[in-house]
Amino acid sequence: MNREPSPMVEYDTAGENIGVLRLHNGRDNLVDHAVFLDLTELKQWLQQYSFQGLIITGNGRNFSKGANVERIKGYKDCPEILEEELNEGKKILSYIEELPLITVAAIEGACFGAGLEIALSCNYRLASESALFSFPEVTLGLLPGFGGTIRLPKLIGQRAAKKLILSGDMISAQEALRLGLVDETTGKKEAFLKAVELVEGLARRCSARQMECFDHMMDQPGSDYWPVYEKESRYFGELIKAMDI
Amino acid sequence: MKLLNEETKKEIKDMVYSFLADECEVSISELKEDLSVIDDLDGDSLMFVEMIEQLKKKYSLNIQMQNIGKYLLKNPANTIKEVVETAYLVYEKENDIVEAL
């Protein structure tokens, strides 16, 4: 079987200087390979355009129905290769997660497994009212392996995450909203538009440097806050110097 | 069990047709009851679940997605006619639909 990465992302733009990563792979946007995009290419693209926000969405009816199970089966005899590829893929998700930009997943239709794990790397998830969510890995004897077991509990708490992951149940957008998995539900086919509005609304009020400083603050570990307070003061001083008034 | 009168039946049928037309990007007039949602309209199995979610919201039905899934595994709704009939059944039986297995 071909184990070469198969990028499944189209680069696009929208609204006022917003980058768009559009997942595309057939009707279901299956994630064939953990290295679902070329990280170097993504970095170059982001550097070139200095976007104020990034939206990840799916081409067509679904965000993504998750990993291509048939391909995963092909790694049965060489799981160490899959492990390496997953680690490479996770570097992409961590890079997206740490971007000093407003990142939003705009979700229509199915958002399952690896697709949901990609969505979890964003700051916000906006979902159409008819979107469906699931971590179906348990039904295959697996667990989420693309950061989902770490990011989901961080987002919705251990109890709810455990239930979603261990049951493999599919939940509606309304239930996802109740759990805090999504930030807002929208009308059908409106998730992308609302994502653009969200990015523009937030980005309008702050400069790129403010965003960068804020992101550096967010990166700090929960312990030993004093250096962080100092850093906050330093950034505050720096930003005062750059104020318009 | 809810009683399904003719007026609600028509409402549900119209809703199914309108949903399928919108999702499959065809006009309502093109939808014939013996068409297969998957083979003829290029739909997918999750569309049915999405549609039942709409039905659930509209009529405040007490039906869990898992129960719809269980029912559909045994009674797949392939044609538009079958989709409409399953929607009627969901309205009437709600979660008790699994007892119809």
Clarify whether A137 is annotated catalytic: yes
pLDDT score for A205: 85
Candidate from A27, A171, A188 with C-beta closest to B44: A27
Q: How far apart are CA A220 and CA B25, in angstroms?
A: 48
Tell me the residues of B at the A interface, defined by beta carbons under 8 Å apart.
Answer: 22-23, 42, 44, 46, 49-50, 53-54, 65-66, 69
Q: How far apart are CA A68 and CA B63, in angstroms?
A: 30
Q: Which residue of B has its CA nearest to A189?
A: B23
pLDDT score for B42: 87
| Whether residue A200 has pLDDT greater than 60 | yes
Q: Name which of A107, A112, A143 is nearest A122 in CA terms.
A: A107
pLDDT score for B101: 61
Candidate from B23, B53, B66 with C-beta closest to A169: B66
**Given CB atoms, is A170 within the 8 Å cutoff of chain B?**
yes
pLDDT score for A5: 60
Burial of A141 (0-12, 13-18, 19+ CB in 10 A): exposed
Clarify whether A97 is annotated catalytic: no
Range with top average pLDDT, A79-83, A148-152, A209-213: A148-152
Q: Please give the interface size between A and B, counted as residue pairs whose CB atoms are below 8 Å apart.
A: 26
pLDDT in tens, A167-188: 999 999 999 999 999 999 999 8
Q: Name which of A176, A61, A187, A64 is nearest A119 in CA terms.
A: A64
Q: How many domains does chain B have?
A: 1
Is residue A89 helix, strand or coil?
helix
Confidence at A1, pLDDT banded by 50, 70, 90: very low
Residues from chain B contacting residue A169 (CB–CB below 8 Å): 65-66
Mean pLDDT of A67-84: 87
Q: State the sign of the Cα–Cα–Cα–Cα dihedral A49, A54, A56, A61.
A: negative
Q: How far apart are CA B43 and CA B45, in angstroms?
A: 7
Q: Where are the domains of chain A?
A: 9-203, 208-241
pLDDT in tens, B26-60: 999 999 999 999 899 988 878 888 898 889 989 99
Contact between residue A119 and residue A107 where contact means Cβ atoms under 8 Å apart: yes
Looking at residue B9, the DSSP 8-state letter turns out to be H
Is residue A139 helix, strand or coil?
helix
What CATH number belongs to A9-203?
3.90.226.10
Stated as kind and residue range, the H or E segment containing A55 is strand A53-58
The answer to whether residue B68 is domain-embedded is yes
Is B49 in contact with A132 (Cβ distance < 8 A)? Answer: yes
Mean pLDDT of A213-239: 70
The answer to whether residue B1 is domain-embedded is no
Q: How far apart are CA A2 and CA A114, in angstroms?
A: 19
**pTM to 2 decimal places:** 0.85
Is A130 in contact with B69 (Cβ distance < 8 A)? Answer: no
Is B54 in contact with A130 (Cβ distance < 8 A)? Answer: yes
pLDDT score for B100: 67
**Given CB atoms, is A163 within the 8 Å cutoff of chain B?**
no
> What mean pLDDT value characterizes chain A?
89
Looking at residue A102, the DSSP 8-state letter turns out to be E
Confidence at B64, pLDDT banded by 50, 70, 90: confident
Q: How far apart are CA A67 and CA A29, in angstroms?
A: 9
pLDDT in tens, A43-64: 999 999 989 999 999 999 999 9
| Whether residue A222 has pLDDT greater than 60 | no
The answer to whether residue B61 is domain-embedded is yes
Candidate from A132, A169, A188 with C-beta closest to B46: A132
Mean pLDDT of A202-218: 84
| Whether residue A6 has pLDDT greater than 80 | no
pLDDT score for B11: 96
pLDDT score for A73: 84
The answer to whether residue B57 is domain-embedded is yes
Q: Which residue of A has its CA nearest to B52?
A: A130
Residues from chain B contacting residue A58 (CB–CB below 8 Å): none
10 Å Cβ neighbour count for A49?
Answer: 13
**Given CB atoms, is A172 within the 8 Å cutoff of chain B?**
yes
Residues from chain A contacting residue B22 (CB–CB below 8 Å): 188
Confidence at B3, pLDDT banded by 50, 70, 90: confident
Candidate from A27, A110, A172 with C-beta closest to B53: A172
The answer to whether residue B89 is domain-embedded is yes
Range of the domain at B80: 6-100
Radius of gyration for the alpha carbons in chain B, expressed in angstroms and rounded: 13
The answer to whether residue B60 is domain-embedded is yes
**Domain at B85, CATH number:** 1.10.1200.10
pLDDT score for A58: 98
